[in-house]
Structure 1
Amino acid sequence: MMKRLKLGLAVMLSLLLVLLAGCQAVGGVDVSKAALSTLDVKSSMSKQTLSLQLVPTDGKLTEEDQKAIDLLNSFSVTIDQAAVKDMNNASMEGSVQLQGKKLPFHLAMDKKALTLSVEGMTQPISVPLELEDLDLGFVGQNMTNESLIQMYKDVLGFLLKHTPNPSSISVTPVTEKVNGESLSLQKLHIDIRGDELVGLAKGFLTSVSKDKEGVKQLISNLYDTYYPIFAAYAGAPEETAAPDNAEKEKNINEAVNELMGALDELLPDYDKNVDGLFQEAPELSEILGKNTVLSLDFMLDSKLNIRKQNMDLTVQLPASEDLPIKQVKVHSEAETWKVNEPVTVHAVDSSKGIWEVNPGEATPGEVLRHLDRQSELYRLLKDDMNITSKSFSMYTEEDASELYDAGFEPVVVNNTMMVPLKYVADELDAKLVWDNATKQITLTDDLTGSKIVLKMGSKLASIDGVNETLAQPVQNMDGYAYVPMRFITKALGAQGNWDRNEQTVTIVRN
C-alpha cells in the first residue's frame, strides 16, 4: 500500500508537469524527460509549507460566515522533514497551525500500517495498510515495483506525446538554496489561466484522434494488467482463463475503435458543446476565466530532478448570495534533497501503546476519548470543528425521487412519533446489542457511555439504571424495533423535530 501511495504522489507530480507544461522542450529543457524522471526517484528528503486564503465577497458577512473564513484562513501546514527511504517506508514530521495554535504531528508508514501521532493524543493511531485485495482496484496483486513504474511511464509517455504547452512557459538558469546548499538549477516557470483549459483539452483530444497506432500501443501495454478488471466488470467467473492472442487482439482493436469513434463524434461539435455548457452553467465562465490562475516554478538539477518548487493557485468563484467568498488561494513551497541517496525514516513513539483502528470506523466519541481533554487538539475537534455534531432527516411519506426500505421511515402511532431504533442509533454512533433470549435491547451512547435499556413490547426503559416510562411500548414493525422519538433523541443527547407540513422528522445533535 505504501508503494502505491509513493508512486501515486510521483504520478500526480508527473501529471502536473504533463498537463501544464506540455510535451515540447522549453529553453533546452526536455520537459517530457523531467516529468518521467519523477518516477525514478526511489528515496529523498524534503520539506514543505502549505497555506490557504479565502477572499470574502465585497458585501457584509454574517458573523457565522466571518468566523468560518477566519478559521480557514488561519490554517497552514508545515512539514519540517519528510523522509522516503524506499517504496515501503517513509516518515513525516511537522505541524498544523490553526487560529494561532500549533499542533505538532509525526507520521510514519511501512508495509503494514500508517501510524500518526498528534500532540494531544493519549496514544498514536495506527491504520492497517495490508489491504492487498484492494490494491489498485483488484489489479496487479503480483505486480512488482518495476512493473508498476513501467505502467505509469507508458501512460505518462502517451500523455506527454499529445499534450500542448500552455501559452506562458519559460526556462531560466537560477541559483537557489535547497536545505541550505546553493545549487545551480534550471527554473521551469508556468502560468496557466482558467480560460486556457478548454483549448488545451481540445488540443490534446485532437492530437490523440490522429494517433490510432499510439492509442493501440498504449491499450496493448495495459491490457494484461487490466484484463482482470475488464473480466470482473463483464461478469466473468474468477476462474475464466485469459484470452488467447487472437482474442486479445480482437478485444484491443474493439477498444481502440470505440475510443477513436468517440473522439470522431466529439471533436466536430467540441466548440459548440462547450459554448452550450457555458450557457447552461454561466458560473463556469468565472471559474474557468482569466482570474483563475495556476502559477508554478519547478527548479530542476542537471539530472532533471525537481529540487525546489513553488505553487500559487487562485480560483475565482461566481458571485452568489449563498457564497460568502469570491476567491480561494493556495500557496505551497517545497525543497527536496538526498535524491536517491540513503535516507533514515523516524518511527512514531509507541511506548504508551497504539490505538488500532480501521479506516472510517472511528466514531466521534472514540476519537475524543483518545485525546487529552486539556489539549488544543481536543478543543479544536470538539469546539471548533464540532465533530460530535450530527443531523439527519426521515420522511413519513415516500417521495417519488426516494426509495425507503423498512426500518428507515418514522411512523405515527396513537399520536406518538415512532422512529426506527437501529437507524437512529447508527446515525448517532450508538452501539446496539440485542439479547434474543430476553428480547432486551441495550444502547451505549457514543459520547457519554450512558446505557439505555429497552424491551420489545414494553413501555419500561432505563437510562443508567434510572427507569422511565415510554409514551408507547417498543414495537416490532417489519422486523425493526421502533421507539418514541422524544425519548430516544433525548437519551442520546439529540433533539427531534416533526414537521407536519413536510412530513419530515429531523434529528440534530450539536
Structure 2
Amino acid sequence: MMKRFKLGLAAALSLLLVLLAGCQAVGGVDVSKAALGTLDVKSSMSKQTLSLQLVPAEGNLKEEDRKAIEMFNSFSVTIDQAIMQDTNNASIEGTVQLKGKKLPFHLSMDKKALTLSVAGMTQPVSVPLELENLDLGLMGPNMTNESLIQTYKDVFGFLLKHTPNPSSISVTPVTDKVNGESLSLQKLHIDIRGDELVGLAKGFLTSLSKDKEGVKQLISSLYDTYYPIFEAYAGAPEEATATPDAAEKEKNINDAVDELMGMLDELLPDYDKNVDELLGETPELSEILGKNTVLSLDFLLDSKLNIRKQNMDLTVQLPASEDLPIKQVKVHSESETWKVNEPVTIHTVDTSKGIWDVNPIEATPGEVLRHLDRQSDLYLLLKDDMNITRKSFTMYTDEDPSVLYDAGYEPVIVNNIMMVPVKYVADQLDAQLLWDQATKQMTLTDDLTGSKVVLKIGSKQASIDGVSETLTQPVQNIDGYAYVPMRFITKALGAQGYWDAKEQIVTIERN
C-alpha cells in the first residue's frame, strides 16, 4: 500500500509540475499571458479527441491483466462539438468508444442542473447544480464565478511568474486550419522530460524564496475570502470565524509569510542532497522521473494569444514490478477552438421523455439496466463486458478475522442446513426488503428480475412470484435477525451459494 501511495504521489507531483512548466516569454510570445488568457475566454466552440494506451510489461501476462489492458487501450473520447455560451451554460456532444462499442453522448449544463444523455438510455440523467445543493469546497461564502476566476488568475499568475522554462521550448510562425479556416498562428512547442522536473521545481522554489513581497501580496489577496474556511476546518466555532481586525490580520499574514519563507530557507540549501537521498531510497521514483517520461505540447496561438489548437502527447514510464503489468502509460489529445468570445448558443439535452431521477453512481445494477435499451451497445457493454451484475461476497461461520461483525452477519448451521441472514444477503445482492410487522412476513424484490420472494418467520412455506415452495428449515429468528436456508435464498435471487467446510466460509456469487 505504501509503495503504491509513493508511486501515486510521485505521478501527481510530476503532473503538477508539468502544468506549471514553461511560463517565461519565448520568441516574443508571452507564455504566461497566453496561459492566463484562457481564463478570460467567456464563450467559444471547440472539438477534441483523447486516447489512452497502456504498454504491457515484458514477459507473460496474466489473462485478467491482458483483458484489462485491452479494455483500457480500446478507450477513446471524441468531442465533436463543445459550446461554452458563458460561465454558466455549456454543452458537449461526442462519442466514447470502449471495447469496440461506440457510445454517443450529449451533455448540457446551466445554473440549475447538469443533464447527460448516452445512446441507449431511455431517459437522460439530471444532476442538480443549485448552490444550496453543492459543497462549495474552497469557494468562499461570497465567492462568485467572476471573483473565483480572478482568484485563479491571481494565484496562477503568481506561480507562472516564478516558473522557469524547460530546456526544450520554441516558437515558430505557422499556417494551419482551425475548424476548416486557414489561420496565421504562432506555434509554441514544449518538450518536458521527467529528469528535468526536479530541476524545474528547484528553480521555482528558488525564485519564490526571493520574492517575499510577492508572497505577502498573494496571501493578503486570499486572506479575507479563505480565512473563515480555514478557521472552520480548524474547528473554530461559527461565531469565531469572522475576519479579524486590521492589526490581527496583518500579524496573521506576516506569520504565514515568515513560516513559508523559513521553510524555503531550510529546504533549499540541502535540496540536491535530499533529492538524491529520496531517489536512492525509492528507485521506482527515479524511473518515473527519468528521461523516458516525456510530455510534448504544441499550442497554436492567434494574434490575441488565444489558444486555437493544441496537441498533447504524454508518456509516463513506470518502474518494473511483479505487481505492475504495464511499463508505460501514454495519453494523446488534440483540440481546436473557434468563435472565441463570440456569441454562441448551447445545445440542450432533450428531456421531453422525462428524466431518470436517480444518482447513477448510487443506482443498483438492476435499476441501471432497466433504464437502458436491451439492444443498445451501452446495455451490452455494462452487462456483458463490464459485468455490472456480478456479485461475490463471503461470510464466516466464526467471526471474520479481518472484520468485527455484529449480529446478523454470520451464517449458522441448523440441523445440518446452512442458514444465512436474510437482510445481509439481500443488501449484498441489492434486493429490496420489506417487513410487515402485522403478518410477520418479509417480501424481497430481486434487483435484476423484479421477482418477489415472500417469507414468514417460523414458517417453512415461502413463495416466489406467487408459486409456493417448502423450505428445508423454517425461517428463524436468531439474535433478532431472520435466517433462511442458503440454497433457497440464493436460488430465489439468481445467485449460487458455496460452503467451504475446511475454511468454514460461505461464498455467494452472482454472474
TM-score normalised by L of structure 2: 0.87
Superposed CA RMSD in Å reads 3.0
Offset of 1:156 from its aligned partner? Answer: 0.5
- 1:166 alignment counterpart: 166
Q: Does the 8 Å CA contact 1:216/1:256 hold for their aligned counterparts?
A: yes
**Residue of structure 2 equivalent to 1:177:** 177
Is structure 2 residue 12 aligned with structure 1 residue 38? no
- 2:199 is aligned to 199
CA distance in 1, matches of 2:22, 2:397: 55
Distance 1:317 1:417, change over 3 A: farther
Give 1:241 shift.
Answer: 5.1
Partner Cα separation in structure 1 for residue 326 and residue 197 of structure 2: 23
Q: 1:63-142 maps to which residues of 2 (within 5 A)?
A: 63-137=63-137, 139-142=139-142
CA distance in 1 between counterparts of 2:484 and 2:248 reads 60
C-alpha distance in 2, partners of 1:247/1:279? 45
Encode CA deviations 1:161-217: one digit per residue, 9 max, x unaligned: 222222211111111100111111111111111222222223323333343333332
CA–CA distance in structure 2, aligned partners of residues 447 and 241 of structure 1? 50
How big is the shift at 1:430?
2.1
Which of 471, 475, 478 in structure 1 is aligned with 2:477? 475
Paired residues in the alignment total: 495
Q: Please list every run of 5 or more consecutive structure 1 residues that lacks an aligned counterpart in the other structure.
A: 1-14
**In the alignment, residue 157 of structure 1 is paired with which amino acid?**
G
CA–CA separation in structure 1 for the residues paired with 2:229 and 2:450: 45
Q: How far 1:319 sits from its partner (Å)?
A: 2.6
Q: Distance in 2 between matches of 1:252 and 1:228?
A: 14
Contact map agreement 1:127 1:359 (CA 8 A) in 2:
no
**Local SS of the residue matching 2:137:** coil
> What is aligned with 1:11?
none
Cα deviation for residue 154 of structure 1 reads 1.5
**Does the alignment pair 1:287 with 2:288?**
yes
Aligned counterparts, 1:249-398, within 5 A: 249-358=250-359, 360-394=361-395
CA apart distance, 1:64: 4.2
- Give 2:166's aligned amino acid: P
* SS of the residue 1:242 aligns to: coil
Partner of 1:57: 57
Q: Verify the 8 A CA contact 1:20 1:190 in the aligned structure 2.
A: no
The whole-number CA distance in structure 1 between the counterparts of 2:264 and 2:423 is 50
Match of 1:214, SS?
A: helix
Which stretch shifts more, 462-471 or 307-316? 462-471
Kindly indicate whether residue 179 of structure 2 is the aligned counterpart of residue 146 of structure 1. Answer: no
Distance 1:169 1:22 in 2: 7
Judging changes above 3 Å, is the alpha-carbon distance between structure 1 residues 461 and 230 closer, same or farther for their aligned structure 2 residues? Answer: farther
| 1:17-68 deviation digits (Å, cap 9, x = unpaired) | 9834333211111111111111100100000111122222342344444443
Tell me, yes or no, if the aligned pair for 1:154 and 1:218 is still in contact at 8 Å: yes
Gaps of 5+ in 2: 1-14
The equivalent of 2:212 in structure 1 is 212
Return closer, same or farther for 1:287/1:452 CA change in 2, 3 Å cut-off: farther
What is the aligned partner in structure 1 of residue 7 from structure 2? none
Shift of 1:323: 3.4
Once residues 417 and 323 of structure 1 are traced to their aligned partners in structure 2, the CA distance between those partners, rounded to angstroms, is 40
Residue-by-residue CA offset, 1:244-280 (whole Å, 9 max, x unaligned): 2233333333433443444444444444444444344
Q: Is the 8 A contact 1:407 1:420 kept in 2?
A: no
Label 1:241 to 1:94 Cα distance change in 2 as closer, same or farther (>3 A). Answer: closer
Structure-2 separation of matches of 1:61 and 1:470 = 46
SS at 1:111's partner residue?
coil
The aligned counterpart of 2:12 is none
CA shift in 2, pair 1:182/1:509, >3 Å: same
1:154/1:383 CA distance change after superposition, 3 Å: same
Shift of residue 228, structure 1, vs aligned partner: 2.8
Q: Secondary structure at the match of 2:312?
A: strand
Most deviating of 277-286 and 297-306:
277-286
CA distance 1:37–1:506, change in 2 (3 Å): farther
CA–CA distance in 1 between the matches of 2:268 and 2:457? 64
Q: What is the deviation of 1:506?
A: 4.3
Question: Percent same amino acid among aligned pairs?
Answer: 81
Q: What do the CA deviations read for 1:297-318 (whole angstroms, capped 9, x no partner)?
A: 1111111111000011112222
**Tell me, what secondary structure is at the counterpart of 1:283?**
helix
Query: Match for residue 9 of structure 2?
Result: none
Give 3-state SS (helix, strand or coil) of 1:446's partner. coil
Aligned to 2:442: 441
Name the residue aligned to 1:12: none
**CA distance change for structure 1 residues 261 and 411 in 2, over 3 Å: closer, same or farther?**
farther
What's the CA shift for 1:139?
3.4
- Residue 296 of structure 1: CA displacement? 0.7
The letter of the residue matching 2:447 is: D
